Amino acid sequence: MSIFNSINTSASALTAQRLRMDIVSSNIANAQSTRAVINENGEFEPYRRKMTVLETQDNRFKSMLANASGDIKHSGVRVAAIVEDEEPFKLVYNPVHPDANEAGYVEMPNVDPLQEMVDLMSSTRSYEANITALNASKGMLMKALEIGK
């Protein structure tokens, strides 16, 4: 076991939470984008909300066996994938909008700003908690170095 395991674990979590915050900010920025991509029919489609999927960084058999036997293994976290939310688009009545259909409805992105703000606050708090853990680990290592003085 390395003395840097806790620092590496916190660093991987900081990287993952930073990417999660970037995805959330992208969702908020595109909450009104009705022409994000062109589908297979050649028509514009609204922006589709994106989400991050987190998993343990080391999911090899060796580490799983170590966890099952009670050995402490610090592996960290990573972003396994960035997936699109498959919720249907929101229909908003706005007959003067250039993307309105024959009935006057516009397909808007499936982004809920309130949900995005909750996700942003959650990732910010996780980021702050990992900074605190990183600073605590750094402080303990510094105190250990002072023992020899």
Query: pLDDT tens for residues 71-107?
Result: 555 678 889 999 999 999 999 999 999 989 999 999 9
pTM of the entire predicted model = 0.81
3-state secondary structure of 58: coil
Contact 102, 19 (CB under 8 A): no
What is the 3-state secondary structure of 74-134?
A: CCCEEEEEEEECCCCCEEEECCCCCCCCCCCEEEECCCCHHHHHHHHHHHHHHHHHHHHHH
Contact 104, 37 (CB under 8 A): no
Q: What is the pLDDT of residues 103-139, one digit of tens each?
A: 999 999 999 999 999 999 999 999 999 999 999 999 9
Burial of 1: CB neighbours in 10 Å, binned 0-12, 13-18, 19+: exposed
Q: What is the pLDDT of residues 3-31, one digit of tens each?
A: 788 888 899 999 999 999 999 999 999 99
> Where are the chain's structural domains?
2-31+50-84+111-148
Number of H helices and E strands in the chain, helices first, is 3, 6
CA dihedral 43, 114, 78, 50 (to 10 degrees): 0
